[in-house]
């Protein structure tokens, strides 16, 4: 098999890249280890920055998002039983965000790719990227056998083959294989883990507030989000390594009620919990995001804790930057933008790392937190609530940094 760009991974990064390249007349093949149903159901991000919305529109992938997505003009910060709204358009000169789930973005992009785009091969696991330093990189992969071959995660049976190409883009997430093709000694990693995680639930109940609520509480952080006018998405800070099954539904609702408590009439609506899972929290950056003809994009290159809602939006920025660079190369013969790909992406990545870290330490309670730390968090929140400059800083970062 041969193509211009091998794309490893059909998460938002890989799927959007395939679409951008297709629109520019550049062919690609997407290899995805999981099956379609798995990719379309994996619960993750919920917030699209204004810039991400603009990119999806320009790529012709926003028809359903524009019908079903919920435009949000602010978030609420809740602390000391008080509520403070951060008004995005007022503080940023008109910017907002869109609540439209990652599952839906992926479904829309998969449908477009299968209808109009190049090959998108599910249950096809990339095993290794080879010869990235040469002009002829290759991806060795295994396609599930005629017997169905399992879920791609079991290292089981299947047919091995090689995809030859001009460029490989590793969009295979934090646990993918692409990053391993960068020899140790060439790259450098920066990492921080946090001593807590998020217990996330989906519940069949209308959201209890019309905007997201980020709550700081002495018992730990809580977040109220949503998937639609009838489905709530809620998160609780839990100790690192918590098993989601160890929390009963009653315990989850009771804890959410405590952490969201206010002095006014606000009440949390309860409903049937349909999904429960725990997400660890990590900050991670791999530099550079390129090795020869291999480019890393999205979670394959960097991870942020979800508190700033930045992961998917960073992935979008990376693939837009790569697609622009490759189109420039195709039109002019110049490698300039490919050469600056890593530095261009990393500037935005580190701003998102900074913001995600700030939001995480602003709102979560560390196991060894002292009363001094608690007072500092409240002082930081008071500052955001009381100073237009501090509020603007948060609003600008939350609604997104420019791509490129």
Q: Tell me the catalytic residues.
A: 72, 214, 306, 310, 398
CB of 12 to ligand RFL, least distance (A): 4
102 near ligand RFL, judged by CB under 6 A: yes
> Interface mask (CB under 6 A) for ligand RFL, residues 143-182, using x and -?
----------------------------xxx--xx-----
User: Is 313 among the residues that bind ligand RFL (CB under 6 A)?
Assistant: yes
- Cβ proximity to ligand RFL: between 262 and 277 the closer is 277
Residues from 305 through 344 that contact ligand PHB (CB under 6 A): 306-307, 309
Q: Indicate whether 46 belongs to the interface with ligand PHB (CB under 6 A).
A: yes
Query: Per-residue DSSP letters for 311-336?
Result: HHHHHHHHHHHHHHHHHHHHHH---H
In terms of CB distance, is 29 or 304 closer to ligand PHB?
Answer: 304
Collapse the DSSP code of 281 into the 3-class scheme (helix H, G, I; strand E, B; otherwise coil) and give the result. Answer: strand
Residue 211 is a binding residue for ligand RFL (CB under 6 A) = no
State the alpha helices, DSSP H only, in 193-310.
249-260
Query: What 3-state DSSP class applies to 187?
Result: strand
Q: Alpha-carbon distance 68 to 231, whole Å?
A: 13
Distance CA 28, CA 7 (A): 7
For 212, other C-beta atoms within 10 Å of its C-beta total 22
Shortest separation between residue 190's beta carbon and ligand RFL, angstroms? 17
When binding is defined by CB under 6 A, the residue of 108, 255, 287, 299 that contacts ligand RFL is: 299
Minimum distance, C-beta of residue 373 to ligand PHB, in the bound complex (Å): 22
Query: CA-CA distances (angstroms) from residue 328 to 133, 143, 318, 322, 325?
Result: 21, 33, 15, 10, 5
Q: What share of the chain is helix, strand, coil (3-state, %, to 5)?
A: 40, 30, 35
Q: Which residues contact 121 (CB under 8 A, 6 or more apart)?
A: 29, 30, 31, 32, 143
**If binding is defined by CB under 6 A, does position 47 make contact with ligand PHB?**
yes
Q: Which does 307 bind (CB under 5 to 8 A by kind): ligand PHB, ligand RFL, none?
A: ligand PHB
Question: Of the two residues 243 and 335, which places its CB atom closer to ligand RFL in the complex?
Answer: 243
- The answer to whether residue 311 forms part of the interface with ligand RFL (CB under 6 A) is yes
* Residue from 298, 305, 317, 400 binding ligand RFL (CB under 6 A): 298
Chain centre distance of CA 74? 20
283 binds ligand PHB (CB under 6 A): no
Identify residues 175-234 at the interface with ligand PHB (CB under 6 A): 212, 225, 233
Residue 65 binding target from ligand RFL, ligand PHB, none, CB below 5 to 8 Å by type: none
The kind and range of the H/E element at 115 are helix 102-116
Residues of span 323-382 touching ligand RFL by CB under 6 A: none
Does 352 sit near ligand PHB (CB under 6 A)?
no
Burial category of 234 from C-beta neighbours within 10 Å (exposed 0-12, middle 13-18, buried 19 and up): buried
Question: What residues form DSSP beta bridges with 226?
Answer: 232
Q: Judged by CB under 6 A, does residue 364 bind ligand PHB?
A: no
Q: How far is the CB of 45 from ligand PHB (least distance, A)?
A: 6
What CA–CA distances, in Å, run from 253 to 69, 199, 203, 237?
Answer: 26, 12, 11, 13
Select from 44, 64, 258, 354 the one that contacts ligand RFL (CB under 6 A): 44
Q: Which does 289 bind (CB under 5 to 8 A by kind): ligand PHB, ligand RFL, none?
A: none
Q: Is 124 exposed, middle or buried (0-12, 13-18, 19+ CB in 10 A)?
A: buried
Q: How far is the CB of 398 from ligand PHB (least distance, A)?
A: 9
Contact residues for 71 (Cβ-Cβ < 8 A; gap 6+): 96, 97, 98, 99
User: Applying CB under 6 A, which residues contact ligand RFL?
Assistant: 8-14, 31-34, 39, 44-47, 102, 125-126, 171-173, 176-177, 198, 200, 279, 298-299, 306, 309-313, 315
User: Applying CB under 6 A, which residues contact ligand PHB?
Assistant: 45-47, 212, 225, 233, 306-307, 309
């Amino acid at each position: 098999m041969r193509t211009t760009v091998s794309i490893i991974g059909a998460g938002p990064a890989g799927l959007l890249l395939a679409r951008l390249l297709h629109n520019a007349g550049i062919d690609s093949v997407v290899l995805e280890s999981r099956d379609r149903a798995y990719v379309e159901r994996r619960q993750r991000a919920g917030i699209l920055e204004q810039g991400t919305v603009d990119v999806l529109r320009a790529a012709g992938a926003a028809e359903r998002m524009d019908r079903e997505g919920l435009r949000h003009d602010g978030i609420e910060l809740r602390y000391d039983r008080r509520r403070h709204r951060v008004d995005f358009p007022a503080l940023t000169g008109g910017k907002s965000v869109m609540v439209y789930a990652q599952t839906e973005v992926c479904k829309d992009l998969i449908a477009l790719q299968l209808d109009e785009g190049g090959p998108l091969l599910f249950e096809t696991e990339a095993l290794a990227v080879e010869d990235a330093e040469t002009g002829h990189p290759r991806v060795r992969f295994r396609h599930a056998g005629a017997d169905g071959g399992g879920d791609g995660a079991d290292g089981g049976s299947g047919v091995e083959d090689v995809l030859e190409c001009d460029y490989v883009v590793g969009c295979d997430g934090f646990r993918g294989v692409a990053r391993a093709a960068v020899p140790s000694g060439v790259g450098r990693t920066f990492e921080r883990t946090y001593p807590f995680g998020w217990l996330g639930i989906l519940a069949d109940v209308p959201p209890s507030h019309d905007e997201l609520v980020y709550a700081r509480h002495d018992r730990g952080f809580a977040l109220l989000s949503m998937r639609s006018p009838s489905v709530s998405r809620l998160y609780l800070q839990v100790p690192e390594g918590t098993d989601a099954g160890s929390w009963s539904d009653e315990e989850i609702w009771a804890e959410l009620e405590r952490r969201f408590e206010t002095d006014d009439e606000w009440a949390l609506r309860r409903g049937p919990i349909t999904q429960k899972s725990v997400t660890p929290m990590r900050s991670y950056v791999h530099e550079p995001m390129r090795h020869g003809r291999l480019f890393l994009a999205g979670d394959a290159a960097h991870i942020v804790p979800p508190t700033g809602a930045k992961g998917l939006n960073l992935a979008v920025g990376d693939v837009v930057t790569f697609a622009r660079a490759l189109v420039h190369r195709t039109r002019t013969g110049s490698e300039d933008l490919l050469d600056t790909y890593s530095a261009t992406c990393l500037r935005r990545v580190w701003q998102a790392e900074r913001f995600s870290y700030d939001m995480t330490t602003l709102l979560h309670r560390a196991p060894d937190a002292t009363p001094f730390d608690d007072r500092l968090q409240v002082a930081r929140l008071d500052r955001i609530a009381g100073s237009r400059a501090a509020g603007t800083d948060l609003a600008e970062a939350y609604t997104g940094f420019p791509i490129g």
